[in-house]
Amino acid sequence: MIPKTTHRERMAENLAVFDFALTKEEMAAISQLDEAPADFIYDPDHIQQTVAGFVKNWSK
């Protein structure tokens, strides 16, 4: 999402979102999120069946 404003104060607030730093531990934790487990298999059919089952149970 791209913030939209014409007010200088809000522009400054929107840009302040980048005013932080991550620790080495936080960076390491984030880098772990990019790695799929060794036994991960992308199976579109399985995903479709799982979602269909969820929708069926949810709509009851």
Maximal C-alpha separation, the chain: 51
Q: Does this model's pTM top 0.75?
A: no
Of the candidates 15, 53, 60, 19, the one whose C-alpha atom is nearest the C-alpha of residue 2 is 15
* CB-based burial, 11-40: b 16+ in 10 Å, e otherwise: eeeeeeeeeeeeeeeeeeeeeeeeeeeeee
How do the pLDDT tens digits run along the chain, 60 residues long?
677 888 888 888 888 877 788 899 999 888 888 667 777 777 888 888 888 887 777 766
Q: How far, in whole angstroms, is CA 35 from its chain's centroid?
A: 14
DSSP class of 56: H
- The ranges assigned to domains in the chain are 23-60
